[in-house]
Structure 1
């Protein structure tokens, strides 16, 4: 794959800056060291919270969460951070959540689900269900789901598990890993992409010890896609996971639902952190904001 052609100079600068904190051989490090370098990298890219956004931590049915608000609203988005189910925290995605809140006016509840290897599957899934149920009971109104990477997986798995029990206005999945075929499509054509490789995906899945046939771990393996919320799935072109977003949207549409996939050209996994320095990433973030805003209003602009 000719990444020198696909990826522009701004994105390469973001990739290279990331590499300064997160070395390519990080999977050989201890879990504690992986978390340390990931946290350092996220802190280096972290932006100040926008003015007017209030933020406080709270316990949500035993799950640590962080609540972002900017005035009155009847809409809540439950957000799940990425990190391969191994790294990441409320702090790693604090600025993303605060900016979503500021740009949409929507209440954001970020979920600090349990991580592997200390807590194998279905611990993170169970936390996602508990926190989402808490949100629905605490803030009656419009409910949305959102997450990036592993968080996109949790958002989708939550939507599948709670359909018919809770009413979701929509979900936005950002470069999600949904359990696609590791021996086909983008998993092979982008196996050695910058920022995330096929081998790293398999490595993190093994740490979680999840069964690819279990839809609570791999939503694409579900046999029933009826009754799922309106879905916007966003893929990075230069990402082994790219095909998961399109495949998921196609399955929902085939079942009679509404879904739309956006593939972001020339972007890599993890590009949200580059939204302040990479024009393509900023444009994609604007589309994420627009999607959440539309879904929160009950609109479907696709």
Structure 2
């Protein structure tokens, strides 16, 4: 149960941004609603921060900060259906400013116009276009894509670290979080089926990159910092993946954020809990970037 008044206010403002008849809206309308909601919480970019839009590996990207030897790749959330370079603009700008590292936001193709594996193909294309060490960061669907990037490069050049923020990784639906948080604010268990249908259609999902928890081998992957929201049906995906990585002798830190719902990064200016979590994410990025490469 959420009792924190700052978090409750964030939830109320988020929900109020959507029209009453938003359920069943088209993908185009949902993108419009989502972008308008993100605009409510968007802060200004840090003054003097260079920002440039260009393609890397043929994929639209937004690049923040001056050129650095090590960079950050950011993969946005939105259920593979909504979100883009604008929805997470301030988050990426703040990461670049706080870490001093060039940050690259990936504008991967969205479903349902583009079915899987278009999304991971775009992330991999950006990775191969970079010839420098990088930390990969993602939230929600973007966190799943960050994990999939590491899996796709197994036995090859790995990111310096993978930071997975409230990731959806194809976890078992009998895990407690899927029932305990079935009607959680901002993301319900039923919503996950809609996103899955948009991404994959009605057929089975066989590609382990689409569900990293189903991968048979997770050894040799980047060290991980996994952050879960306690009031989120996806919470147990993060802890289950942490267990899988540890069992494969991987390095992983798991952090669960009490009283926070899915999507809480947007609350980092208004909620002390969300702000502390964002600072921990910034510290984790800096920590991975400081390691010898």
Aligned CA distance change for structure 1 residues 103 and 10 (closer, same or farther; 3 Å): same
Query: Number of paired residues?
Result: 290
Listed one character per residue, the Cα deviations across residues 28-68 of structure 1 (whole Å, up to 9, x for unaligned) are 11111111110101111111001232110111111100111
CA distance in 1, matches of 2:220, 2:22: 40
CA distance in 2, matches of 1:124, 1:247: 23
Listed one character per residue, the Cα deviations across residues 111-167 of structure 1 (whole Å, up to 9, x for unaligned) are 0000000000001011011011112x2xx2x31110000000000000000122223
Structure-2 residue corresponding to 1:274? 267
Please give the root-mean-square deviation of Cα atoms over the aligned residues, in Å: 1.4
State whether residues 179 and 212 of structure 1, in contact with CA within 8 Å, keep that contact through their aligned partners in structure 2.
no
Structure-1 residue corresponding to 2:7? 11
Structure-2 residue corresponding to 1:177? 168
Aligned CA distance change for structure 1 residues 24 and 274 (closer, same or farther; 3 Å): farther
CA distance in 1, matches of 2:67, 2:80: 33
Q: Secondary structure at the match of 2:282?
A: helix
State whether residues 233 and 260 of structure 1, in contact with CA within 8 Å, keep that contact through their aligned partners in structure 2.
yes
- Within the candidate set 82, 87, 107, 1:87 is matched to 82
TM-score w.r.t. length of structure 2:
0.96
Structure-1 residue corresponding to 2:180? 189
Q: Deviation of residue 216 (structure 1)? A: 1.3
Structure-2 residue corresponding to 1:111? 106
CA distance in 2, matches of 1:159, 1:259: 14
User: Is 1:37 matched with 2:72?
Assistant: no
State whether residues 52 and 102 of structure 1, in contact with CA within 8 Å, keep that contact through their aligned partners in structure 2.
no
CA distance in 1, matches of 2:90, 2:263: 14
Please give the residue correspondences for 1:11-90 in structure 2 after superposition, counting only pairs within 5 Å.
Answer: 11-23=7-19, 26-69=22-65, 71=66, 73-90=68-85
Q: Structure 1 stretches (4+) deviating beyond 3 angstroms?
A: 210-213
Q: Secondary structure at the match of 2:208?
A: coil
Q: Deviation of residue 72 (structure 1)? A: 5.0
Structure-2 residue corresponding to 1:132? 127
Q: Tell me, which stretches of 5 or more residues in structure 2 are unaligned?
A: none
Q: Tell me, which stretches of 5 or more residues in structure 1 are unaligned?
A: none
CA distance in 1, matches of 2:5, 2:175: 29
Q: Secondary structure at the match of 2:142?
A: helix
Listed one character per residue, the Cα deviations across residues 193-238 of structure 1 (whole Å, up to 9, x for unaligned) are 0110000011111110174442111111101011010000100000
CA distance in 2, matches of 1:25, 1:268: 22
State whether residues 213 and 221 of structure 1, in contact with CA within 8 Å, keep that contact through their aligned partners in structure 2.
no
CA distance in 2, matches of 1:178, 1:19: 25
CA distance in 1, matches of 2:147, 2:41: 27
User: Is 1:228 matched with 2:224?
Assistant: no
State whether residues 212 and 221 of structure 1, in contact with CA within 8 Å, keep that contact through their aligned partners in structure 2.
no
Q: Secondary structure at the match of 1:27?
A: coil
CA distance in 1, matches of 2:158, 2:32: 38
TM-score w.r.t. length of structure 1:
0.93
- Within the candidate set 197, 200, 214, 1:209 is matched to 200
CA distance in 1, matches of 2:174, 2:24: 23
CA distance in 2, matches of 1:63, 1:254: 35
CA distance in 1, matches of 2:282, 2:139: 13
State whether residues 41 and 266 of structure 2, in contact with CA within 8 Å, keep that contact through their aligned partners in structure 1.
yes
State whether residues 175 and 236 of structure 2, in contact with CA within 8 Å, keep that contact through their aligned partners in structure 1.
no
